[in-house]
């Protein structure tokens, strides 16, 4: 008896309604879906550029249910290159998802939350921040540490003021190398975990969520362990190449975990003993 089943590979149309230039290489695309779309902070979607292909991204907009969705994208490969060059407001792209488990929002309740981002890695973390801010009373404190190459590479600059004003929240920025006109901290993001730079998060209480280039995640993790964090408090956005998003195509694994199905935000304690956690 033929049965009708959801086609897990079918993308839903998503119309581009706004494109925000964040940095010379990063743009935020705002999409309008035909019907409300629901996702949790940290869950990702497969974005289809019609005829070109799919790539996985974690939305940077407020989690929950909405007809609108934002994705912040760095120009890095085949799909994103086409996206940056050719896609205009009014174009219809496709979205499949959401996939994955997302950030451990429930687990973090009652604790301090340390948010560490690098470059475009602040995009998925912004969804997490929205979720934290919405229920800020549930969390002890939110501490944001964010680094980029230059001041021009910092994303969501137009929101920093608003974030810093949130209760129980602090935001610290750094850039990799000295830059004309920059008077803030200089150095890779791990310098913001130094006491000299005002780091005062309780390492025995806090949960860490971090997203950024793999090299950054690696050194952030080592530094966190160094200053006393336990591996089970560290959540890393381990985004690897994904194709299906549903735990079938088997390419995004770290050890036995599928980043698509069991992640993409993985507790470091779960993966630390497997080879190639950081390539």
Partner 1 sequence: MESYFLPAERLGEFVGHLAKFGKIYRCEQTESGPRIKLVQEKDYGEWNFPAVRTDEPAKYLFIKAKRKIAEYFDDKWRKITIEEEPKVIIGLKGCDLAAIKIWDKVFREDEQYKDPFYIAARENALLVGADCTGITPYCFCNLLGNGPYPAEGEFDLSLSPVEGGFVLFVGTERGKKALEGFSLSPAPAEALQKIESRRRELARKLDEQNAKYKTDTSWRELVEKNPDSPAWAKHGATCVACAACTYVCPTCFCFQIYDTVRPDGKYERFIALDSCKYPRFSFMAGGLNPRGKLVERFKHRYNHKFFHYHWRYEIYACTGCGRCIENCMGAIDMRETLKSVEVMKETAKTEA
Q: Which residues bind partner 1 (CB under 8 A)?
A: 2-13, 48, 50-55, 76-80, 92, 94, 213-214, 240-241, 243-244, 246-256, 261, 274-276, 279
The DSSP code for 230 is: -
Say how far apart CA 101 and CA 240 lie, in whole Å.
Answer: 15
Nearer of residues 113 and 252 to partner 1, judged by Cβ? 252
Q: How far is the CB of 176 from partner 1 (least distance, A)?
A: 17
Q: How far is the CB of 258 from partner 1 (least distance, A)?
A: 9
Q: What's the chain's Rg over C-alpha atoms? A: 18
Say how far apart CA 185 and CA 195 lie, in whole Å.
Answer: 13
Nearer of residues 109 and 270 to partner 1, judged by Cβ? 270
Residues making up the chain, counted from first to last: 279
The DSSP code for 7 is: -
Nearer of residues 75 and 168 to partner 1, judged by Cβ? 75
Q: How far is the CB of 77 from partner 1 (least distance, A)?
A: 2
Nearer of residues 34 and 162 to partner 1, judged by Cβ? 34
Sheet of 141-148, strands arranged across: 185-186, 169-175, 141-148, 112-118, 207-211, 234-237, 265-267
Nearer of residues 181 and 275 to partner 1, judged by Cβ? 275
Other C-beta atoms lying within 10 Å of the C-beta of residue 23: 20
Q: How far is the CB of 100 from partner 1 (least distance, A)?
A: 11
Say how far apart CA 16 and CA 26 lie, in whole Å.
Answer: 16
Q: How far is the CB of 202 from partner 1 (least distance, A)?
A: 33
The DSSP code for 10 is: P
Q: Strand 53-57 vs strand 26-39: parallel, antiparallel, or unpaired?
A: unpaired
Q: How far is the CB of 182 from partner 1 (least distance, A)?
A: 25
Say how far apart CA 40 and CA 195 lie, in whole Å.
Answer: 33
Nearer of residues 144 and 242 to partner 1, judged by Cβ? 242
């Amino acid at each position: 008896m033929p049965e009708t089943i959801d086609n897990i590979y079918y993308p839903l149309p998503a119309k581009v309604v706004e494109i925000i230039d964040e940095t010379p290489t990063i743009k935020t695309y705002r999409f309008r879906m035909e019907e409300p779309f629901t996702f949790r902070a940290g869950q990702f979607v497969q974005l289809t550029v019609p005829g070109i292909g799919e790539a996985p991204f974690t939305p940077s907009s407020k989690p929950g249910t909405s007809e609108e969705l934002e994705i912040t994208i760095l120009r890095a490969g085949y799909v994103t290159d086409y996206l940056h060059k050719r896609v205009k407001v009014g174009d219809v792209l496709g979205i499949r998802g959401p996939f994955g488990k997302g950030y451990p929002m429930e687990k973090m309740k009652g604790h301090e939350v340390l948010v560490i981002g690098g470059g475009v890695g602040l995009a998925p973390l912004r969804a997490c921040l929205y979720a934290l801010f919405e229920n800020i009373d549930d969390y002890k404190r939110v501490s944001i540490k964010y680094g980029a190459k230059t001041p021009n590479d910092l994303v969501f600059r137009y929101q920093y003021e608003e974030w810093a004003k949130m209760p129980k929240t602090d935001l610290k920025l750094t850039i990799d190398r000295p830059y004309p006109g920059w008077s803030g901290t200089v150095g890779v993001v791990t310098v913001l975990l130094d006491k000299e730079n005002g780091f005062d998060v309780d390492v025995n209480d806090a949960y860490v969520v971090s997203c950024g280039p793999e090299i950054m995640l690696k050194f952030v993790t080592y530094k966190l362990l160094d200053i006393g964090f336990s591996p089970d408090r560290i959540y890393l956005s381990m985004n690897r190449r994904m194709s299906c998003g549903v735990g079938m195509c088997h390419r995004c694994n770290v050890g036995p975990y599928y980043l698509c199905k069991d992640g993409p935000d993985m507790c470091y304690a779960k993966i630390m003993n497997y080879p190639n956690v950081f390539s």
